[in-house]
């Protein structure tokens, strides 16, 4: 479905399904992140530059950065819209924003992301402006508000402790053959105890993706508390051939006390 008359902002309805909610009846951040990826996919597909159009051309979108800042999480059975729009284009990257809102207009939170277009054969960046005759340029929205901080640089000090290592599993691997980008987030959120989650809410999360991991990898999670309730996590991978570790992604979490 390609349609030049579509608005620049896409708006998609989701439901906080019961088994996508945590023990407090709030949507798991990983499932919200997945819905944001879906919204981005629907939005780009309807406008002529989505995955279903790209894959036959041996191109794909790769998520490079994701930031999510939530005032409140949708609760079980809440319906909510994810609005998404492209707000900037560089040769090899786009910036895409999100808002998460209730049908009544209450804002749950906002997101920002950076995506690269790559060639699936060479794994190298591909020129966005050549994509479907520059279709993406018709849909840049600069006015709509997304009042959260841009992605920061997630610095790791020397104090980070290795918290856990896990072998990549069948359920971690997505249709591109690498570890699903939301799985890093889920595995990282699993570092925090149920007791901690009982007292806190996740206010902001950031992920910066560096390189992909595959089925034969083991992932290692290093964590450091930067300040109270503010954590940086470095995820590395190693494989069977060597114990040498390569950085896969960096994550920042800012929790706050329950309101």
**Which lies closer to its own copies via its Cβ, residue 121 or residue 170?**
170
Region binding its own copies by CB under 8 A among candidate stretches 87-95, 105-113, 127-135, 186-194: 186-194
Give the other-Cβ count within 10 Å of 19's Cβ: 7
Does 56 participate in binding its own copies (rule CB under 8 A)? no
Interface residue with its own copies among 174, 211, 225, 256 (CB under 8 A) is 174
- Dihedral class, residue 100 (left if φ above 0, else alpha if ψ from -120 to 50, else beta): beta
Region binding its own copies by CB under 8 A among candidate stretches 21-29, 100-108, 134-142, 149-157: 21-29
CB of 168 to its own copies, least distance (A): 9
**Residue 17 to residue 8: CA distance in whole angstroms:** 28
Which residues are CB-contacts of 144 (< 8 A; sequence separation ≥ 6)? 9, 83, 85, 87, 97, 99
Region binding its own copies by CB under 8 A among candidate stretches 92-100, 107-115, 127-135, 174-182: 174-182
Residues from 137 through 156 that contact its own copies (CB under 8 A):
none
CB of 123 to its own copies, least distance (A): 17
**Which lies closer to its own copies via its Cβ, residue 36 or residue 114?**
36
Interface residue with its own copies among 170, 228, 242, 257 (CB under 8 A) is 170
* CA nearest to 126, candidates 48, 209, 178, 57: 57
State the Rg of the chain over Cα. 18
Q: Give the rounded distance of the alpha carbon of 71 from its chain centre.
A: 17
Does 175 participate in binding its own copies (rule CB under 8 A)? yes
Beta bridge partners of 242: 239
DSSP code per residue over 118-137: EETTT--B--GGGGGGGGGG
Count of residues making up the chain: 259
Residues in touch with its own copies (CB under 8 A): 17-25, 28, 30, 34, 37-38, 41, 51-52, 76-77, 169-171, 173-177, 180, 182, 186, 189-190, 192-194, 197, 215
């Amino acid at each position: 479905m390609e349609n030049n008359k579509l608005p620049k902002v896409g708006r998609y309805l989701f439901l906080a399904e019961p088994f996508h909610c945590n023990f407090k009846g709030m949507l798991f951040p990983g499932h919200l992140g997945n819905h944001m990826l879906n919204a981005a996919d629907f939005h780009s597909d309807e406008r002529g530059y989505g995955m279903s159009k790209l894959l036959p051309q041996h191109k794909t979108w790769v998520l490079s950065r994701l930031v999510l800042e939530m005032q409140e999480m949708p609760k079980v059975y809440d319906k909510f819209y994810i609005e998404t729009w492209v707000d900037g284009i560089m040769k090899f990257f786009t910036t895409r924003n999100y808002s998460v809102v209730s049908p009544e207009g209450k804002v749950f939170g906002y997101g920002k992301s950076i995506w690269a277009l790559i060639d699936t054969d060479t794994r190298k960046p591909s020129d966005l402006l050549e994509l479907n005759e520059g279709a993406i340029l018709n849909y840049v929205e600069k006015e709509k508000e997304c009042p959260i901080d841009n992605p920061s640089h997630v610095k790791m000090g020397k104090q980070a402790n290795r918290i856990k290592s896990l072998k990549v599993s069948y359920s971690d691997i997505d249709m591109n053959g690498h570890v699903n980008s939301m799985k890093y987030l889920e595995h990282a959120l699993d570092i925090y105890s149920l007791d901690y989650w009982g007292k806190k809410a996740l206010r902001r999360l950031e992920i910066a993706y560096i390189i992909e991991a595959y089925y034969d990898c083991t992932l290692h999670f290093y964590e450091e508390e930067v300040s109270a309730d503010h954590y940086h996590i470095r995820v590395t991978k190693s494989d069977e051939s060597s114990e040498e570790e390569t950085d896969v992604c960096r994550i920042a979490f800012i929790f706050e006390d329950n309101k």
